[in-house]
Amino acid sequence: MPPRRRRPTEPFREKFPEPGPDRFEGYGKRIAVEDGIAARSRRGAIGESWWSGRFLAVLEKLGVGGRLDRGKTYARAGQVVDLAIDPGEVVATVQGSRSEPYRARIGITTFADEAWEAVEGAFAADSWYAASLLGGTVPDDLEEVFARVGLSLFPTGAREMPMDCSCPDWSVPCKHLAAVAYLVAERFDDDPFLILRWRGRDRTTLLAGIRERRDDTGPAVTPLAQVVDRFWSAGGPLPDLGRPVPGNSEELLDQMPPLGVAVDGTDAREALRPFYRRFGL
């Protein structure tokens, strides 16, 4: 039997109070929203990337009846008035058939600072991950990095992704929550760094942490401002290497291993020999 949606917590009640005595009224045709947030996908599946698919997989495990399909309809019709993805929660306003829009929230546990430090260290230790993230690209195997430090990037079930909606339907998820989730999936498609923000680390802070750790482990570099006054000057007199011995320039070719390259059927070393003789000292 599918789980029931948990009752809103007190902070949520204070921020988004439940409807009054008419909460069971207003069933019928949904009220159209002008300038609502509509899904790009007009038919079929919503979500194009592996990370949005992983997020929606949790939702689809909890699907009850036709609520997911109705949620897609709501998402495509633009019934979501506003949506914000913040650390620990997604909060949205969804217009249903009542005059008063519903408030919906999808929560998640944020990682502690110590956990994020471990993640940043793992990213910084691997040049490929560091270069990808600092370049604005999220690697396809992002989940594996979190797994290495004992974390799961995506929730694995309902307990890790509590949902609340002020509508009278207590199923998990209701169509309003489903509509919000489908739009969140498209936001994740557009900017996968929002997944990390939802888990508690915004893009700027994450990248700064990776850069700091890369700088700590990399070679020391003197800032240009400290040497610009002598940047174009010689570092000192050149050492006296002595005069080259005449006729020794061809010895470089003799010591050179076969290049595996032929010029007009002749080994490249032999093709270069006349030039060495001409310019040798």
pLDDT tens sequence across 221-251: 455 565 566 556 655 565 554 555 555 566 6
Amino acid letter at 90?
V
- CB 107: neighbour CB atoms within 10 A? 19
21 within domain boundaries: yes
Most confident by average pLDDT, 60-64, 128-132, 147-151: 147-151
With vertex at residue 90, the alpha carbon angle to CA 1 and CA 18, rounded to the nearest 5 degrees, is 70
Most confident by average pLDDT, 38-47, 59-68, 99-108, 244-253: 99-108
255: Cα separation from own chain's centroid: 52
Q: Are 195 and 55 in contact (CB under 8 A)?
A: yes
Q: What are the tens digits of pLDDT across the range 117-128? A: 999 999 998 888
Does this model's pTM top 0.75? no
Sheet holding 102-107, edge to edge: 80-86, 89-94, 102-107, 163-165
Cis peptide, bond prior to residue 173, ω within 30 of zero: yes
Distance between CA atoms of residues 233 and 169, nearest Å: 77
Q: Comparing 108-117, 161-170, 233-242, which segment has the lowest mean pLDDT? A: 233-242
pLDDT confidence of residue 134: 85
Residues near 18 by Cβ (< 8 Å), separated by ≥ 6? Answer: 8, 166
84 within domain boundaries: yes
Q: What are the tens digits of pLDDT across the range 194-205? A: 999 999 999 999
Mean pLDDT of the chain: 80
Tokens found for residue 138: 């999220």
Domain range for 94 is 10-110+155-199
Distance between CA atoms of residues 131 and 137, nearest Å: 9
pLDDT confidence of residue 3: 43
Q: Looking at the predicted structure, is the pLDDT value of residue 45 above 90?
A: no
4 within domain boundaries: no
223 within domain boundaries: no
Q: Looking at the predicted structure, is the pLDDT value of residue 21 above 50?
A: no
Tokens found for residue 101: 């829009």
Q: Comparing 52-61, 104-113, 182-191, 227-236, which segment has the lowest mean pLDDT? A: 227-236
What is the average per-residue pLDDT within 181-188?
95
The percent of residues in the chain predicted with pLDDT above 90, rounded, is 41
pLDDT confidence of residue 248: 59
- Provide the number of structural domains found in the chain: 1
Question: In the Cβ-directed half-sphere of 179, how many Cα atoms lie within 13 Å?
Answer: 28
pLDDT confidence of residue 115: 95
Distance between CA atoms of residues 56 and 173, nearest Å: 12
Q: Which long-range contacts (CB under 8 A, 24 or more apart) does 253-261 make?
A: none
Tokens found for residue 23: 């909460």
Q: How confident is the model at residue 157 (pLDDT cuts 50, 70, 90)?
A: confident
55 within domain boundaries: yes
Which residues are registered as beta bridge partners of 196? none
pLDDT confidence of residue 26: 44
208 within domain boundaries: no
The percent of residues in the chain predicted with pLDDT above 70, rounded, is 69
Amino acid letter at 91?
V
